[in-house]
Amino acid sequence: MTVMTPAYQRSLRIFTAITTAVIVVIPAFLLPSAAAAPGDGGSLSQSPVLALPTLGAGDTLSFFGQQGTQTITIPVPSGLAPSELRATVELPPNLQSGSISAVQQERTLSRVDIPTAERATVTIPLRGATVVENSVAITLQSFLVPASGICVFDKADPLRLTDASVAFTGTEAAPASVAEFLPPVLEKLTVSVPATPSQSESGAAVALSSAVVAYYGAQPVEVVVQALPAGSNVPDIPSAPLERQITIIEQPASGVTLLEGPGVPALVISGPAAELSNQALLLTSDIARLAVSSRAVAGPLRVSPQLPPDSTTLRDLGEPGVSATALTDPQVSIGIDQTRLGRPAGNIRVNLKGSYTPLPPNYGGQVVVSVGDQVVSRWAAEANGTIDKWVDIPDRLLQRFTDLNVAVDAAGDTGGCGQSSPITLTIDGDSPVQSTPADPPVPPGFQSIPQAFMPSVQVGLTIGSLDDTARASSIVTGLQRLSSVPIETTVVPLGEAVSSSNPAILISADGWNEPGIDLPVSTTAGGPIDIEGVDSSGGKTTLTLDPAVPFGSLQTVRDGGRTVLVASSTGTAGQLDSLLRWLEADEERWITLNGNALIAVPDQDPIAMISDAANSPQSTSGDDDNKQLIRWIGVGVLVAIALGVGFLILRSRRREPGS
């Protein structure tokens, strides 16, 4: 029997540790670098707290009246479970007390008192909620008690939950198959292509970027296009929590492959030139759920564009029906979204069908329909409370997204507290909507896109340019965020897109030298700046700056019967990139963009202008005076900047839905 002394035991432990280290480490050195890279150091989210906008909802929840409801759908990544909703409370005036309940399918998950201190925080438990297909639908119900002597709350001052976020418990599960690769919540997607991408690689990268943004809808997914490290098919830095990395590379073997590795593995999309975009479409297609292995090869995934109908319903436009209840003046808003119509539209008519609570004998009232502050129809309230009226929306009031407001204006002796009944106004989702194609689009400029690019748009760029591929991805994803309908893209050489008759996005970052397409704002090297349609005659105005000021721009133009969006600069591509970064930083900037030229100069926020270049046929008598005022303001801006500021441009920052 051998007796192990303490010194011998200590030596044996050291020897064992060294041997174990050699056994574990040596194989790592022997593995190919591409196989070791995926997921190395990658991490998974553990009990994250995610703001509601990250989950695809607004950051403010409003509850009107004494009893209000809001339903939110919370996407839930695999391995996580929602635990609580956190928010800051903004109280309506004259509140005595109140509570909020979280309900799922008539099952109350929790009920909490509303703190009466202004700007206090509230935590609403969600534990026990049932996750169905990676999401949870929660209805929040508020019950408010007004102060003594107050009958109702002012509808202009609802209870608000602001800065809302959801806390989760658990640890995000790593994807184990292609089907699981895209999580229910995605904060960032990194698309990597070779440093000199082929036309098919650029096309697949742009198509994938757009498809992923459409797939996640209201979630603000950040998309980054970057170059692959030399000699590797995966990025050097692994994925962070709730992020994903995809490589697109042209090679003979087609397929979508989930690489092995710890943490969050990367995905490689490969194939010959003719197959690459088709493989990229697999991830967001309906058949992706069947890709339950680590590698899948998609067959043809052809997208058949649907012809936009002349007649549809509010339900088909994403409005399943709306309802509002108030003691007086209930009002609802209906969204008319041209991107859901699938084309630039005009002559829009809505056959409003619905009802309202019949008014008592001591009441008088009318139904008023408006766009913004413009009344487009009104009629006296009828005894049976039925609504069945055709309403025309004037073209001059149309925007990309137009809010049609319907209200019952009622007045009469309401009596004391508890002596009057509320009025409920309902508009049915089956209300018909009619429209005709608008050529040129209504309205013109930035508000005409992306619907003028539907069902498909060409993207013209310099083939082999990684920078142009990234610019194209930035523009297309920005436009896709404006629409719930996917935009089909095809990348072609710039010259081909310029000479085409198809709608196009044209990227010429170092300058615009295409004589057949005149931009609203342009310049030549060392020459004056030409501005179309800014003076009162609608002609050309020039401005000479000394020293010259470089700028980048996005400009919309009608070229024959098509709309084109030109991304260019005065020879300084960095100014165009600065403009695109500014747009990416806040989704609202794309939404509120008006006019037809967005200009970025050094050390200033980009500014938008309206000119009549290529748009004069769309002028209507109703806005001639307004346009003339805009032109004269534009001239004043040019003069002021020429004297001391440094550059011209009319600032037009207003979001004008329906005005």
Number of domains forming the structure of the chain: 4
Residue 192: Cβ-neighbour burial (10 angstroms; 0-12, 13-18, 19+): buried
Note the pLDDT tens digit of each residue in 379-411.
999 999 999 999 999 999 999 999 999 999 887
Among residues 476, 482, 442, which one has the least CA distance to residue 592? 482
pLDDT at residue 415, rounded to an integer: 61
pTM value > 0.75? yes
Same domain, 430 and 450: no
State how far the alpha carbon of 46 is from the alpha carbons of 56, 78, 136, 307, in Å: 20, 11, 19, 46
What is d(CA 447, CA 325) in angstroms, rounded to the nearest whole number? 33
**Closest by Cα among 427, 426, 424, 420 to 360:** 420
- Mean pLDDT score, 12-36: 34
Question: In sequence order, what are the beta bridge partners of 492?
Answer: 460
Burial classification of residue 330, based on how many CB atoms lie within 10 Å of its CB (0-12 exposed, 13-18 middle, 19 or more buried): buried
466 and 541 housed in the same domain:
yes
The token duo for 232 is: 């590797």
- Residue-number span of the structural domain to which 636 is assigned: 445-645
**CA atoms of 620 and 614, how far apart (whole Å):** 15
Confidence of residue 41 (pLDDT cuts 50, 70, 90): very low
Tokens of 602: 């050094």
Three-state DSSP class for 513? coil
188 found inside a domain: no
Average pLDDT of the segment spanning 506-511? 95
114-129 per-position pLDDT tens digit: 998 888 999 999 999 9
Q: Are residues 469 and 593 in the same domain?
A: yes
**pLDDT number for residue 335:** 94
Residue 165 included in any domain: yes
Instruction: Over range 279-307, report the average pLDDT.
Output: 83
In-domain check, residue 183: no
**453 within some domain:** yes
Mean of pLDDT values over 181-194: 96
For 203, the token pair is 């096309």
Q: Residue 417: inside a domain, yes or no?
A: no
Residues 6+ apart with CB under 8 A from 292: 177, 178, 179
Q: Would you say the C-alpha torsion 42, 43, 49, 50 has a positive or negative sign?
A: positive
Query: Is 262 part of any domain?
Result: no
Residues, the chain: 659
What is the overall mean pLDDT for the chain? 83
Residue 60 falls inside a structural domain: yes
Phi, psi angle pair for 225, to nearest 5°: -110, 125
Residue 407 and residue 537 share a domain: no
Q: Which of 124, 146, 170 is the last residue of a domain?
A: 170
Closest among 114, 54, 52, 60 to 84, alpha carbons compared: 52
Same domain, yes or no: 606 and 478: yes
Burial of 454 (0-12, 13-18, 19+ CB in 10 A): buried
Residues 486, 610 share a domain: yes
The residue-averaged pLDDT of 192-201 equals 97
pLDDT value of position 615: 47
In whole angstroms, how far apart are CA 181 and each of 205, 292, 341? 17, 10, 32
Q: Do 24 and 68 have their domain in common?
A: no
The token pair at 627 is: 């346009």
Residue percentage of the chain with pLDDT more than 90: 58
236 closest CA partner among 31, 30, 37: 37
Within this chain, do residues 356 and 476 fall inside the same structural domain, yes or no? no
Q: Which domain CATH number covers 371?
A: 2.60.120.260
Q: Are residues 74 and 57 both part of a single domain?
A: yes
Asked if residue 7 has pLDDT above 60, the reply is no
In this prediction, residue 73 carries a pLDDT of 94
428 & 523 share domain: no
Q: In this structure, which long-range contacts are made by residues 596-599, counting pairs with CB atoms below 8 Å and at least 24 apart in sequence?
A: 596/444, 596/445, 596/446, 596/520, 596/555, 596/556, 596/557, 597/519, 597/520, 597/521, 597/553, 597/554, 597/555, 597/556, 598/446, 598/553, 598/554, 598/555, 599/521, 599/551, 599/552, 599/553, 599/647, 599/649
Q: Is the pLDDT of residue 617 over 70?
A: no
Q: Does residue 26 surpass a pLDDT of 70?
A: no
Residue 127 domain-assigned (yes or no): yes
Q: What is the distance, to the nearest Å, from the Cα of residue 385 to the centroid of all Cα atoms in its chain? A: 38
Q: Give the pLDDT of residue 237.
A: 87
Same domain? For 503 and 583 the reply is: yes
Q: What angle do CA 384, 390, 394 make, to 5 degrees?
A: 140
Cβ partners under 8 Å of residue 276, min gap 6: 200, 201, 203, 204, 248, 250, 269, 270
Tokens of 173: 């599960």
Shared-domain flag, residues 112 and 18: no
